């Protein structure tokens, strides 16, 4: 696959990468294909205190420092996996969290992983649901999404997404810099997750 619009952009331009990834498709080897409808941008060291890579590379975040096109997967709340596409050049940490998508192929397989879901729009509506629908877990960490060697392939959209149909808003579930308008989604798409504003936790004795 040749160089794409979002590929290898400097960490300071991660929001451009995030917008460009909308409409792209993640394809699993089992036939499940998810079209990305909502994403969230995270820059890196010294640029974004909400980023896992803010303080520099660690065993957990080393793949965020490039090369672009690999998968950064992390476990959250002790029960869910979340998937991110690394977008920056080697040495500059940045990644885009895949927040939601539409299952466009392989719905029957997807439903076996999300039993009890009635509406198709709910299958990958949220980052943990998206990962579950694709059957992704920690074993996917660091795999290449572009060259066909990994368990997931990232494919361009059949037609370009109209920039006028992209909406920006605050990020979700972060304890700092949550009001940055670095979450992007396709306007009026039913698979976009429900926004919940960040509420800081109160310490004991606070009112």
Match domain 11-186 to its CATH number in 3.30.70.1880, 3.30.43.10, 3.90.79.10, 3.10.300.10: 3.10.300.10
Q: What is the CA radius of gyration of the chain?
A: 16
What is the per-residue pLDDT for 44?
Answer: 87
Asked whether the predicted pLDDT for residue 202 surpasses 50, the reply is: no
Give the model's pLDDT for residue 76. Answer: 84
Q: What is the pTM of this model?
A: 0.91
pLDDT tier for residue 37 given thresholds of 50, 70 and 90: very high
pLDDT digit string, tens, across residues 18-31 = 999 999 999 998 99
Q: Which residue has the higher pLDDT, 76 or 146?
A: 146
The per-residue pLDDT for range 95-140, each reduced to its tens digit, is 999 999 999 999 999 999 999 999 999 999 999 999 999 999 999 9
185-201 burial, b at 16+ Cβ within 10 Å, e below that, comes to bbeebebbbeeeeeeee
**With 60 as the cut, is the pLDDT of residue 201 above it?**
no
**Phi and psi of 18, rounded to 5°?**
-60, -45
What pLDDT score was predicted for residue 4?
Answer: 67
The number of beta carbons lying within 10 Å of the beta carbon of residue 9 is 21
The confidence score (pLDDT) of residue 198 equals 55
Query: Which distant-in-sequence residues (6+ apart) come within 8 Å of 74 by Cβ?
Result: 52, 60, 81, 82, 84
pLDDT band at 177 (very low <50, low <70, confident <90, very high): confident
Task: Please check the confidence at residue 203 and state whether its pLDDT lies above 90.
Answer: no
- Please check the confidence at residue 205 and state whether its pLDDT lies above 80: no
Q: Which long-range contacts (CB under 8 A, 24 or more apart) does 169-175 make?
A: 169/195, 170/195, 170/197, 170/198, 171/40, 171/50, 171/198, 172/40, 172/99, 172/196, 172/198, 173/198, 174/50, 174/198, 175/50, 175/200
Per-residue pLDDT tens over the stretch 52-99? 999 899 999 999 998 999 999 999 877 799 999 999 999 999 999 999
């Amino acid at each position: 696959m040749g160089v794409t619009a979002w590929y290898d952009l400097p960490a300071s331009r991660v929001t451009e990468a995030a917008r460009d990834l909308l409409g792209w498709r993640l394809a699993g080897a089992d036939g499940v294909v998810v079209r990305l409808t909502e994403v969230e941008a995270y820059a890196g060291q010294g640029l974004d205190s909400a980023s896992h890579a803010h303080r520099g590379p660690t065993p957990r975040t080393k793949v965020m420092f490039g090369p672009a096109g690999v998968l950064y997967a992390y476990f959250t709340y002790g029960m869910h996996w979340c998937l991110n596409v690394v977008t920056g050049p080697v040495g500059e940490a940045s990644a885009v969290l895949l927040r939601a998508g539409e299952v466009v192929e392989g719905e029957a397989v997807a439903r076996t992983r999300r039993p009890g879901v009635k509406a198709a729009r709910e299958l990958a509506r949220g980052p943990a649901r998206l990962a579950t629908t694709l059957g992704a877990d920690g074993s996917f960490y660091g795999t290449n999404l572009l060259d066909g060697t990994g368990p997931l392939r990232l494919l361009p959209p059949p037609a370009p997404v109209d920039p006028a149909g992209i909406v920006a808003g605050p990020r979700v579930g972060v304890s700092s810099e949550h009001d940055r308008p670095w979450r992007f989604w396709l306007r009026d798409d039913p698979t976009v997750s429900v926004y919940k504003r960040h509420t800081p936790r109160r310490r004991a004795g606070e009112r």
